[in-house]
Amino acid sequence: MIDLKKLRDDPARFEKGAKAKGSSVDIQRLLELDEARRKLTVAQEACRAEQKRISKEMGPELGKRKGMLKKAEGEEKARLESEIAELEARPSALKAEIHAFDEQIAANEPEWRDLLLAIPQPPADDVPIGASSDDNVELSQWHPDGFDPAIPFAEQRGFAPKTHVELIDSLDLVDFERGVKMAGSRSYVLKGDGMRLHQAMLRYAFDFMTQENGFTPMNVPVIVREECMVGTGFFPGGRDQAYHVEESRRGAGQDLFLTGTGEVGLMGYHADEIIDRSELPITYTTVSTCFRREAGAAGKDTAGLYRVHQFDKVEQVVIHEADEEEHRAWHRKMIGYVETMLQRLELPYRLLQCCTGDLGTKNEDMIDVECWIPGRGKDGPDGRPTGDWGETHSASRLSDFQTRRLNLRYRDENKRTVFPYALNNTVLASPRILIPMLEIHQQEDGTILIPEPLRPYMGDLERIG
RNA sequence: GGAGAGGUGGCGGAGCGGUUGAACGCGCCAGUCUCGAAAACUGGUAUGGCCUCCGGGUCAUCGAGGGUUCGAAUCCCUCCCUCUCCGCCA
C-alpha cells in the first residue's frame, strides 16, 4: 500500500509510476474520493465533539429526570416529559446528522479502498522503463569452467543433451502420468533419486541460509486468511492465482487461501506489530510448499517440471530499518547468497534487471536470476532445442509497501513508529531447479553427476543412473 | 464434533450505562538522592486518523463488525480468537 500523504503531496510521481508499470488505476479518482472523505470526516467529527460535550454537560440531568418520570403523575409528569423532550432535542438532531455522515462515508469507502490497494508502488528511478519481460536487461552472467551457454552444448561436451523430460523418463525420477491421474494437469510425482535430489537441494539451500548466513529458520502456515494475502500485496490483484478454501460454505466464518510463496507467512508473522529497533534487521528463511493456480498460463510450459501447481521453495525475507542505502545493500547481499549457491552447484546463470512493466504492483525493484537450460528455447536445424535461460529466482525490493499494508512497524531512535523496509528472494525452488540441474550435469552415458555439496544430502551418492 | 469459561494498555488486573483513554500493581523512561548503583521518592509512559494561525485542537480504538441509547469498555446480535473437559484423530 502506498502512503496516502505522499500521494497527495506528489500525485505525479505515482501517476508516472503506475504508467511505467502498465497500470491504468485512476489516481485522480482516488484523490477526489479521499478529499470528499476527509471533508465528511472533519464535519462529522465536529458533530461528535459537540455531542460529547452536550452529553457530559446534561447527561446526568437527563438521567435524573427520566428516573423521576417513572414515579411522577399528572402535572409533574407532563412537566418532566416536556423538559426531557427539550433536553433531548439537540443531541437527537446531532445523532441523526452523524448517522447521515456515516452513510456518506460508507458509500464511497469500497471504491476508495479498492483504488488505494490497487495503486502500485512506483518503480525506483533507476529501473529501466519497459512493457514486459522482453524489455528486461541482462546485468551479468556466470558459468562454471567447462560449460559456457554461449557455445552449443554438443560442441563443448561432445554429445547432444537430453531434455529434462527425457532424462526424467530414462532415469525414472518423476511420474507425470500418475500425478495427473490424481491431481489433474501440471501435477507430478517425484520418485526415487528424483525425490532424493529434490530434498537434497532444498535441504542444502536451507542449511546454507541458516547455518552459513545466519537466517532464522521458520516453518509458517501455507494456508492463511485473506488479510495475510492482502497484507503481503498478493491480493486483490492476484486473487485468481491462489487456491481458495471456501470454509465459509461449510459454516466457518472465514475462507482460507493457499499461499504461493513462503514470503506470505514470513511477512505476515509480524503483522500489526511494533517491533523494537534492536530486533532489526530480521532475517528469516523458510521452506514451504507453494501452490499456484497458474490461471491464464494455459498452454505455457506444459511439458515437464517448469510450471506446476505445487512445488517447494526455500525463501529468504529481510526486514530492516527504513533506509534506502541499506535497502539496496540487502538486495545485493540476498542476490549474492543465491549466486554463491548456484556457483557451488555449478549451474550457469545470469542476473536480469527487470523493467518497470515486469515489476508487479508491490515491487520498486526486482532482479531475476535465470539459469541456463539446454533443453529449452527454439529448436535448431536438427529439430532439437538450442537452449535458453529460465527464471529460477526473483529478488524483490519492496520498500515499505508491504509493511504498510501489514501494519508492521518499528520504533526509531526518536521513539516514533516507522514502517520498515522489506525484501524477499528465492533461495531455491524445486522441482523447477531440477531442470537445469539434470540438464547441465548430465553425462554422455545418460547419468547425472551430482555436484559435491549435495552428496552428503544423498548418502554420498555421486551420480544418478 | 459436544459442553463450559473468557477476551480490557508492554504485562497482571479493576471497572459492568454518565468527564473512564480507562483505577491499582508490575515493567519501562526521566528526575531527586548517591562517588556510583540499589532502595526510596517525584513525574512521565498506547496507537492511528484528520485539522492546524505549529501553541495545539479533535475524533476513533477496551478481540472484530453491527445494533440499542441523548450517552456504551459496560446492554443486544453476528463473527473471530483463547482456555478447560469429553469425543475423534496425523
- What CATH number has the domain bearing residue A209? 3.30.930.10
Q: Which of residues 11-50 of A touch strand B (CB under 7 A)?
A: 38, 41-42, 45-46, 48-49
Same domain, A246 and A107: no
The residue out of A118, A149, A181 marking a domain boundary is A118
Strand B closer than 7 A to residue A255 Cβ: no
CA-to-C1' span, A224 to B14 (A): 37
Give the cell for residue A184.
489433474
DSSP H/E element including A307: none
Residue A239: active-site member? no
Same domain, A221 and A354: yes
CA-to-C1' span, A48 to B25 (A): 35
Q: pLDDT in tens for each of the 465 residues of chain A?
A: 899 989 999 999 999 999 999 999 999 999 999 998 888 888 888 888 888 888 877 776 777 677 666 666 777 777 767 777 777 778 888 888 888 888 888 888 888 888 999 999 999 999 999 998 999 999 999 999 989 999 999 999 999 999 999 999 999 999 999 999 999 999 999 999 999 999 999 999 999 999 999 999 999 889 888 888 998 999 888 898 999 888 777 766 678 889 999 999 999 888 888 888 888 899 999 999 999 999 888 777 878 999 999 999 999 999 999 999 999 999 999 999 999 999 999 999 999 999 999 999 999 999 999 999 999 999 999 899 999 999 999 999 999 999 999 888 888 877 788 899 999 999 999 999 999 999 999 999 999 999 999 999 999 999 999
Residue A35: active-site member? no
pLDDT of residue A389: 96
Establish if A373 belongs to a structural domain.
Answer: yes
| A288 touches A424 (CB < 8 A) | no
Give the cell for residue A311.
512445488
Same domain, A215 and A330: yes
Same domain, A236 and A294: yes
| A84 touches A65 (CB < 8 A) | yes
Same domain, A107 and A137: no
Same domain, A315 and A269: yes
* pLDDT mean across residues, chain A: 91
User: pLDDT by residue (tens digit) across A127-169?
Assistant: 999 998 999 999 999 999 989 999 999 999 999 999 999 999 9
Establish if A87 belongs to a structural domain.
Answer: yes
Same domain, A174 and A42: no
CA-to-C1' span, A38 to B56 (A): 20
Same domain, A150 and A240: yes
Rg (CA), chain A: 29
Range of the domain at A452: 133-464
CA-to-C1' span, A420 to B51 (A): 27
pLDDT of residue A69: 65
Same domain, A72 and A164: no
- Angle ∠(A103,A109,A113) on CA atoms, nearest 5: 170
Buried b (16+ CB within 10 A) or exposed e, A432-462: bbbbbbbbbbbeeeebbebbebbeebbeebe
Same domain, A91 and A213: no
Residue A351: what are its φ and ψ, rounded to 5°?
Answer: -100, 135
Establish if A86 belongs to a structural domain.
Answer: yes
Establish if A10 belongs to a structural domain.
Answer: no
> From the candidates A186, A404, A409, A432, which is the catalytic residue?
A432
pLDDT of residue A101: 87
Same domain, A95 and A207: no
Nucleotide nearest to A58 (CA to C1'): B70
Residue A416: active-site member? no
CA-to-C1' span, A417 to B47 (A): 10
The residue out of A118, A141, A162 marking a domain boundary is A118
Q: What is the dihedral sign for C-alpha A221, A223, A229, A235?
A: positive
Residue A391: active-site member? yes
pLDDT of residue A60: 66
pLDDT of residue A108: 82
Amino acid A174 reads: V
Establish if A196 belongs to a structural domain.
Answer: yes
Residue A293: active-site member? no
Strand B closer than 7 A to residue A216 Cβ: no
- In angstroms, the CA A126 to CA A71 distance is 79
CA-to-C1' span, A82 to B74 (A): 29
pLDDT of residue A299: 76
Beta-bridged to residue A424, according to DSSP, are A317, A396
| pTM of structure | 0.92
Nearest to A275 by CA among A422, A412, A423, A401: A412
Question: Integer distance in angstroms from the first to the last C-alpha of chain A?
Answer: 50
The residue out of A83, A118, A153 marking a domain boundary is A118
Establish if A124 belongs to a structural domain.
Answer: no
Same domain, A219 and A361: yes
Query: How many domains are contained in chain A?
Result: 2
Establish if A13 belongs to a structural domain.
Answer: no
Task: Give the CA distances from residue A20 to residues A134, A361, A391, A399, in Å, rounded to whole numbers and listed in that order.
Answer: 15, 11, 22, 18
Establish if A5 belongs to a structural domain.
Answer: no
Strand B closer than 7 A to residue A63 Cβ: yes
Q: Which ipTM did the prediction report?
A: 0.83
pLDDT above 90: percentage of residues in chain A: 64
